[in-house]
Amino acid sequence: MIARSDAACFVGVDLHKDTLTACVVRRTDREVTYKRIVCKCRDQVREFFSSLPRPSVVAIETVGFYRWLWTELEPLVDQLVLCDARGARALAGRRIKTDREDALNVALLLADGRLPLAWAPPEQVQLLRNWTRHRNGLTRQHAKVLHHVKSTLNRLNFAGPVRLDAAALQRYLLASVERFCADDLTMLWQHQRRLVEIEQDRAQSERRIIELMRAAEFAGLRGILESVPGVGLVTSATVIAEIGDFSRFADSKAIGRYAGLAPTVYASGNSNRLGHISKTGSPDLRWALQQAAWTAIRCDAGFKKTWLRIAKTAGKKAAAVAIARKLLVLMWTLQRKDEPYKSRDPVAA
């Protein structure tokens, strides 16, 4: 990463939930100073970074809770970047591990133009990401509750509703109340109330996602993504929220690695074999693409044919993962060409 040439100082930030450690390296004489601040003292955080020599360049190590500091510092410093913490530690060449050493390593790599970067989504993309992750989490909670309901019904050898949701379960319980003992009935009604709450929250989340996806910056890309078989509003929103700018990736292999859908490689001497997918990157992105893959297999003849071919040797689940990766690569290709997907013949009913 190349910092601005006129920078007066370079700052590396090692961030924890309770404290942050900032290392300031002055450009002229490479003098190093440190500052440790308690995170809850937001006024002290703003005061310190506002007092830095200008222009100032600040790098924050990637952690799951960096966003609050990014929001605080963005209007206060001249250049703000997100550091790939794993890559920075690999370049450190040190065994010692302290907050000061980590902050110093980031600051020096920043000053030398060797800092490995991570992508920090713009504010609107970050907001969309918050809502898609929240919505997808609710869907997983919903599936977990349904699993408990089905386990109870299976234990009692009852078939239950064909299509299971809160409303269907309510109708079933009201019609079959005499078939259950008091304890089982109480548990099923508790599950039903949880399903009602989750479905209401999920519907509200999806309405908010629809509002965000109407923004002009998402409109063109949304149309391209939703032309792909199996991809609807939630999947396209999740992909946009997790990928952001597709042009960040130079080739299809890079975006596959970013999503964690590329296989791991074991190569040593004459041995060269592929392992399971790496599962790096966003779990939400992989989950959404996996759901889209199963839909694409059912509704598109081309994807179903590819899935059947791969499944013969790798198995059905592994073949579905391969389809998920193909969907992501297809989205990347279509975005580069700025054209929608040309539909194949749908699967015959």
CATH of the domain at 110: 3.30.420.140
Q: Pick from 188, 214, 240: which residue ends a domain?
A: 214
331 and 226 within one domain: yes
Give dist(CA 151, CA 146) in Å, integer.
Answer: 8
pLDDT at 4 over 90: no
Last residue of a domain, one of 97, 118, 139: 118
Q: Which helix (H) or strand (E) holds 70?
A: helix 67-73
Single residue among 154, 187, 214 that ends a domain in this structure: 214
User: What's 243's DSSP letter?
Assistant: H
- Retrieve residue 141's tokens: 């909670």
pLDDT-wise least confident of 93-107, 108-122, 262-276, 280-294: 262-276
Query: Taking all residues of the chain, what is their mean pLDDT, rounded to a whole number?
Result: 91
- Asked if residue 349 is part of any domain, the answer here is no
Question: What is the distance between the alpha carbons of residues 119 and 248, in angstroms, rounded to a whole number?
Answer: 9
Residue 348 pLDDT level (bands cut at 50, 70, 90): very low
CB crowding 208-224: b at 16 or more within 10 Å, else e: bbeebbeeeebeebbeb
Residue 310 lies in a domain: yes
Note the pLDDT tens digit of each residue in 230-273.
999 999 999 999 998 898 999 989 999 999 998 877 766 666 67
Residue showing tokens 């809770």: 65
Pairing of strands 32-38, 56-61: unpaired
Q: 308 and 242: one domain?
A: yes
Q: Which residue range(s) make up the domain with 243?
A: 218-337
Question: Taking the model in full, what pTM does it have?
Answer: 0.87
**Whether residue 301 sits in one domain with residue 278:** yes
Distance CA 277, CA 261 (A): 5
Claim to verify: residue 189 and residue 222 sit in the same structural domain: no
Helices (H), 228-343: 233-243, 252-259, 283-299, 301-314, 316-337
Please report the pLDDT score of residue 2 as a whole number. 63
Q: Are residues 194 and 222 in the same domain?
A: no
Q: Which helix (H) or strand (E) holds 153?
A: helix 123-155
Q: Which amino acid does the sequence have at 246?
A: F
Number of domains comprising the chain: 3
